[in-house]
Amino acid sequence: MKKGKISDVFGKPLNVVNVGLESMAEAVKDQDVPTFQVDWQPPMEGVKHLRITKSGINIDEANEEVVKRIKQARPTLVGMGVAKDVIPGMHDRMILHAGPPITWERMCGPMKGAVMGALVYEGIAENEEAAEKIAASGGVEFSPCHHHNAVGPMAGIFSPSMPVFIIENTTFGNKAYCTQNEGLGKVLRYGGMGPEIYKRLKWMEAVLYPTLQRAIDSMPDGIDVKALIAQALHMGDEGHNRNRAGTSLFLRAIGPALARTNKDNEVLAKVIEFIDKNDHFFLNLTMPAGKAALEPAEGVEGSSILTVMARNGTDFGIRLSSMPDRWFVAPAGEVKGLYFPGFTAEDANLDIGDSTVTETAGYGGFAMAAAPAITQFVGGTPDMAVAATLEMYEINFSEHEGFTIPVLNYRGTPLGIDVRKVMETGILPKLNTGISHKDPGIGGIGAGILRAPEKCFKDAFDAFQEKYF
Amino acid sequence: MKKGKISDVFGKPLNVVNVGLESMAEAVKDQDVPTFQVDWQPPMEGVKHLRITKSGINIDEANEEVVKRIKQARPTLVGMGVAKDVIPGMHDRMILHAGPPITWERMCGPMKGAVMGALVYEGIAENEEAAEKIAASGGVEFSPCHHHNAVGPMAGIFSPSMPVFIIENTTFGNKAYCTQNEGLGKVLRYGGMGPEIYKRLKWMEAVLYPTLQRAIDSMPDGIDVKALIAQALHMGDEGHNRNRAGTSLFLRAIGPALARTNKDNEVLAKVIEFIDKNDHFFLNLTMPAGKAALEPAEGVEGSSILTVMARNGTDFGIRLSSMPDRWFVAPAGEVKGLYFPGFTAEDANLDIGDSTVTETAGYGGFAMAAAPAITQFVGGTPDMAVAATLEMYEINFSEHEGFTIPVLNYRGTPLGIDVRKVMETGILPKLNTGISHKDPGIGGIGAGILRAPEKCFKDAFDAFQEKYF
């Protein structure tokens, strides 16, 4: 057997995360290697393990049903359409937003910015000042994306004319919707406003959308988004803040259809360039894929599993499968992250967006072990990425055999956040996320990591106990 | 701190590779977890560490120069051409092959098959029987790819009419060449023969080649293959037997130019489909990129680093930077691998191909830690993939900062196989490779892993001592 210092083996200074066996950490510490523990708290006090409800429902069996439905899902990109035409309940004066319900007054800066920008883009307001007055005076109706089978990244703003992807869960026949991804930086979904943003959105409506729509419509089976996510997890993505592989695979999948339905070489070139320059493009497919997978799992009596987890930049909200119409909310958290040049934590808005649908559906931050290179974007170290996934197994009810992590010997991703387990272990869901500037009109300023707030889990657990015990 | 069995942390039965600290393996063994050691042998007897040659050359300094040149390389796809027009020394009756020089009589079955197939494809022979007679009677001249700034996967056959990629190392101005990748299974480079193979090769010559060539010619800076390889290593590729990410990134990079130079939508669709259906397409770019990077590092007096490592299916050959014209050969090895349905190890030819240029240039099998999912193709486990890279640091002179491995905390890949270190440690280069059927005409039957043979390293080391000490 070869002997040596562990740092010699890796050839560089190490930071060791200890996730289990204490003697291993001691052996490493003996070599002056810095070690840090998985961030873990003792179980919350007074939590008892709930098994059978007063009406006799076996909670584990209910949860099995929930994860079975999620695993059976087959989210498929079947078409595109304009929001007001295809999204249930959407109308000419409705704006959808991320997270739990919220009034204009309580909206954070970037959400207000995105709303104002959307009203100018729509032509409902002549400029941002007019838009603010319309928004503040009840001139438009606000509604959460999640109330309309939709999810939106960051501010999550859908306005009536925006083109959307239509994802069908072909196993159950339900549909989910998401906008097209604009890119990073000064973009509407991060709260950006201004002519260059409206121009880009108009191009996405007039050029990108019809080009993609023609291609998708020409594909008899659509595009199997679940299969692309599964492959992307073997290619360094986690499906939330790293989508370079997914974006690449999407371009491969749609490429021949784009060519066959091509009407103008230069348009096609620009469309491919737009997607190629935006490694987050695929996020707006992983998110509705998650939503499409989760909705059939709603409404299972006795289940303690989350089917919704979303933030509006002011509040963080969750919903349980067994109480699908009830939001449990808490103040949104502060993100620890990496900032683009010129910005600091001082500029950051609180946690925002529906993109936590990815973690809820068993990938995203929970699959960070599959995506060590994500730490270049959201901060932390590759070791931390592996530790994050390992920790999330503790609070998830199951593992998703359809989404495997090679470096963990093809173990399935953590699936099914169990509010019982969160309360028993004291481990809160660990998320990665983009960061918006807190003021309207500026846009994205970085990305980072945080945990979901405890309060909404505690409230959901209390309500669960009240309903079933 | 949480306590528990390490297998509980990972949730599944573990096989632990021990790479260093003995006490860690003991702690794991105590829990009845199967452990296995990195495959390692004691140093070969009588090997002394060589530092300064009799003429006063510091070997480490010479080696630094070699790896510096390799690291400085910028392999760029600058164009395409027909082999007989662009490859130095190529002519109408020349066939290039993989590995060290070999006569028709000593060629293995798949190389003979590929030669016969190429002669039929060229129209030099009417059928395979006629081709065999021409080949056996000196009707064509055989020459190693490596003698013509070229590299070819598996049999590595270049015939005069074949289109080739032209890679320029823009730092040094030298060029390297490789054919277009045909796909897996019954294909010429694996020794396949038959009408479907010639038809595919003709389509690649008449349709794929001009389509790609027009696109590449329209890109003023070409395509930076080094940058694509570096990204692909963050996306689960290692650049030899896993090129799914690289193939995806190549399609993204060339996509807009393909659109702009499009003359026929259906042709463009077929070209994209051909590449999309072949995750090995990018191999034929990683290989000449390696060759282009290595050639300027040839001819450094006193260097003990390999600049060539290649197999012809009969012999395994290496060349040192300090003796760039001299091959050191040994019998090619047997591959341990996974076989396509219907085939077994009984059917396998010995190790073959120039693709070990990837390991020589600091990626491929040496970067397997970046590509845990490759084990689905070549066998083994993700742990083994990590262990393979860690072991290869022991016999490489340097680490390639341009090619980093996220899961090893962005450590550079092992670079610069040092024949001194191979002899001192007894560790032979660990390679992954495709497997050809041993008979002519059949093609690829699987993929696997093996080590380079000891003899050629021993001979090279002896020659190095003889020349310099």
Q: How much is the pLDDT for B49?
A: 83
CA atoms within 13 A on the CB side of B239: 34
CA distance A288 to A321: 18
Q: Report CB contact under 8 Å: A235, B231.
A: no
The residue whose two tokens read 């696997």 is B448
* pLDDT score of A360 more than 50: yes
Domains, chain B, ordered by start: 6-37 (no CATH), 75-289 (3.90.1710.10)
* pLDDT score of B1 more than 80: no
Enumerate residues 395 to 424 of chain B having a beta carbon within 8 A of any beta carbon in chain A: 399, 406-411
Backbone angles phi, psi at B376, to 5 degrees: -70, -20
Backbone angles phi, psi at A201, to 5 degrees: -60, -35
Amino acid at B211: T
Write out pLDDT tens, residues B70-96.
Answer: 999 999 999 999 999 999 999 999 999
Q: What is the mean pLDDT of residues A72-97?
A: 98
Q: What is the mean pLDDT of residues A451-458?
A: 98
Which tokens belong to A330?
A: 């808490």
Q: Report CB contact under 8 Å: B27, A21.
A: yes
Q: How much is the pLDDT for A12?
A: 44
Which tokens belong to A401?
A: 């055999």
A42 vs A355, residue with greater confidence: A355
Q: How much is the pLDDT for A26?
A: 55
A228-232, B39-43, B128-132, B244-248: least confident range: B39-43
Write out pLDDT tens, residues B190-199.
Answer: 999 999 999 9
Query: Among residues B285, B122, B276, which one has the least CA distance to residue B188?
Result: B122
Write out pLDDT tens, residues A291-313.
Answer: 999 999 999 999 999 999 999 99
Contacts with B381 from chain A: Cβ below 8 Å: 409
Query: Among residues B286, B376, B309, B294, which one has the least CA distance to residue B338?
Result: B376
Q: Do the beta carbons of residue A391 and residue A383 sit within 8 Å?
A: no
Q: Do the beta carbons of residue B167 and residue B292 sit within 8 Å?
A: yes
Q: Do the beta carbons of residue A277 and residue A183 sit within 8 Å?
A: yes
The three-class DSSP label of residue B114 is helix
B5 vs A345, residue with greater confidence: A345
Amino acid at B9: V
A272-276, A357-361, B21-25, B291-295: least confident range: B21-25
Q: How much is the pLDDT for A47?
A: 78
Q: How many residues does chain A have?
A: 469
Q: Which residues pair with B435 in a beta bridge?
A: B446
A22 contacts chain B (CB < 8 A): yes
Q: How much is the pLDDT for B7?
A: 43
Q: Do the beta carbons of residue A70 and residue A415 sit within 8 Å?
A: yes
Enumerate residues 299 to 318 of chain B having a beta carbon within 8 A of any beta carbon in chain A: none
Name which of B38, B245, B253 is nearest A245 (Cβ-Cβ). B245
CA distances from B95 to B112, B147, B335 (A): 11, 12, 26
A451 contacts chain B (CB < 8 A): no
Q: How far is A57 from chain B (nearest CA, A)?
A: 27
Q: Report CB contact under 8 Å: B6, A21.
A: yes
Q: How far is B259 from chain A (nearest CA, A)?
A: 5
Backbone angles phi, psi at A401, to 5 degrees: -65, -20
Q: Distance between terminal CA atoms of chain B?
A: 57
Q: How much is the pLDDT for B48?
A: 76
* pLDDT score of B20 more than 90: no
A227 contacts chain B (CB < 8 A): no
Q: State the DSSP code for B415.
A: E
A interface mutation test: which of B208, B407, B427 has the most A CBs within 10 A?
Answer: B407
Query: Among residues B64, B154, B162, which one has the least CA distance to residue B113?
Result: B154
Cα dihedral value B133, B134, B136, B137, nearest 10:
110
Q: Report CB contact under 8 Å: B255, A262.
A: no
Q: What is the mean pLDDT of residues A391-407?
A: 98
Q: What is the mean pLDDT of residues A113-121?
A: 98
Q: Do the beta carbons of residue B442 and residue B113 sit within 8 Å?
A: yes
Q: Which residues pair with A444 in a beta bridge?
A: A436
Which tokens belong to A260?
A: 């066959």
Q: Which residues pair with A404 in a beta bridge?
A: A412
CA distance B32 to B16: 11
Q: Do the beta carbons of residue A200 and residue A209 sit within 8 Å?
A: no
CA distance A266 to B342: 47
Q: Is B103 exposed, middle or buried (0-12, 13-18, 19+ CB in 10 A)?
A: exposed
Q: Report CB contact under 8 Å: A270, B256.
A: yes
Q: How far is A269 from chain B (nearest CA, A)?
A: 4
B403: left (phi over 0), alpha (psi -120 to 50) or beta: beta
Q: What is the mean pLDDT of residues A439-461?
A: 97
Cα dihedral value A375, A380, A382, A386, nearest 10:
-110
Amino acid at A458: K
B39 vs B440, residue with greater confidence: B440
Q: How much is the pLDDT for B181?
A: 98
Give, for A167, the enclosing helix (H) or strand (E).
strand A163-169
Q: Report CB contact under 8 Å: B10, A409.
A: yes
The residue whose two tokens read 């059978």 is A52
CA distance B115 to B121: 10
Neighbours of A68 (CB within 10 A): 13
Amino acid at B145: C
Q: How much is the pLDDT for A36?
A: 45
A349-353, B5-9, B192-196, B316-320: least confident range: B5-9
B240 contacts chain A (CB < 8 A): no
Counted across chains A and B, CB pairs separated by less than 8 A come out at 196
A32: left (phi over 0), alpha (psi -120 to 50) or beta: left
The three-class DSSP label of residue A404 is strand
Query: Among residues B365, B367, B225, which one has the least CA distance to residue B290?
Result: B225
CA distance A214 to A220: 12
Q: How much is the pLDDT for B36?
A: 45
Q: How far is B79 from chain A (nearest CA, A)?
A: 20
Query: Among residues A336, A326, A321, A328, which one has the least CA distance to residue A417?
Result: A321
Q: How far is A105 from chain B (nearest CA, A)?
A: 43
A24 contacts chain B (CB < 8 A): yes
B272 contacts chain A (CB < 8 A): yes
What is the percentage of chain B residues whose pLDDT exceeds 90?
88
Q: How far is B325 from chain A (nearest CA, A)?
A: 34
Give, for B144, the enclosing helix (H) or strand (E).
strand B141-144
Q: What is the mean pLDDT of residues A378-402?
A: 96
Q: How much is the pLDDT for B34?
A: 45
Q: State the DSSP code for A368.
A: G
Checking DSSP bridges between strand B411-417 and strand B396-405, what pairing results, if any? antiparallel
Query: Among residues B416, B418, B412, which one has the least CA distance to residue B399?
Result: B412
CA distance A226 to A204: 25
CA atoms within 13 A on the CB side of B207: 18
pLDDT band per the 50, 70, 90 thresholds, residue B44: low
How is A296-337 classified by DSSP, letter by letter?
GGTT-TT--BEEEEEEESSEEEEEETTEEEEEEEEEPPPPEE
pLDDT band per the 50, 70, 90 thresholds, residue A30: low
Q: Report CB contact under 8 Å: A236, B399.
A: no
Residues 6+ apart with CB under 8 A from A321: A62, A66, A297, A298, A299, A300, A303, A305, A306, A307
**Mean confidence (pLDDT) of chain A:** 93
Q: Report CB contact under 8 Å: A265, B260.
A: yes
